Amino acid sequence: MRKVKGETEAEGVALDLERELSAGNGDDGPVTAKVAGPSAEGSPEAELQKLKAERDSLLDRLARAQAEFENARRRAGKEQQEFRDYATLDVIKSLLPVIDSFERALRTKSDAADFRSGIELIYKQLQDALAKLGVLPVPAVGEPFDPHYHEAVEMIETDEAADHEVLEELQRGYKLKDRLLRPAMVKVARNPGK
């Protein structure tokens, strides 16, 4: 029995049986078919009908399995899209109290010193919220320059610091766990003597 690509075993058996029945024995005489297995029903036509019914049953099961697979694929795609749409939900929830604090600070009428201390508290609250999410600042001032985490915007000649030491941080860099979100923009010391 030859199995053509894409055929199930039942289809292959049914097609081979149909080919043998239609080919006959070479002359136009009576057709005889070789049927595998015991022939309880008797005639080759009955066996052929049985195989066709089995083939139809298998094709029906295959169609149902394909439909179930397609539905599962669509459902998984929808769930992934929902995850992407709402992935930032926890981040936003953790930042809402910071926004509330800013709104309260802007509504109050107080002197500059109280306003500054309130803003510093809000800044700390925001830093804490980011730390809970895994966002940490990149260490910069006093550290050796690391091109993976620092972006040098200026080199300064100095005898007071080691060569390639970060002198000043112009913009803080951040990383999320081990991944760099933004490099720190820094001024770097140039001291060939050290």
Q: Which residues contact 156 (CB under 8 A, 6 or more apart)?
A: 167, 187, 188, 189, 190
Give pLDDT, residue 63: 93
Distance separating alpha carbons of residues 158 and 189, to the nearest angstrom = 6
User: pTM for the full model?
Assistant: 0.49
pLDDT at 37 over 80: no
Q: pLDDT: is 193 or 172 the higher one?
A: 172
Q: What is the pLDDT confidence band of residue 81, given thresholds at 50, 70 and 90? A: confident
As its CATH architecture, domain 137-194 has: Roll (2.30)
Q: What is the mean pLDDT of the chain?
A: 78
Give pLDDT, residue 33: 44
pLDDT digits (tens, 9 = 90+) for 54-76: 999 999 999 999 999 999 999 99
pLDDT at 31 over 50: no
Q: pLDDT: is 59 or 41 the higher one?
A: 59
DSSP string, the chain: ----TT--HHHHHHHHHHHHHHHTTSSSS------SS--SS-SHHHHHHHHHHHHHHHHHHHHHHHHHHHHHHHHHHHHHHHHHHHTTHHHHHHHHHHHHHHHHHHH----HHHHHHHHHHHHHHHHHHHHHTTEEEPP-TTSBP-TTTEEEEEEEE-SSS-TTBEEEEEE--EEETTEEEEPEEEEEEE-TT-
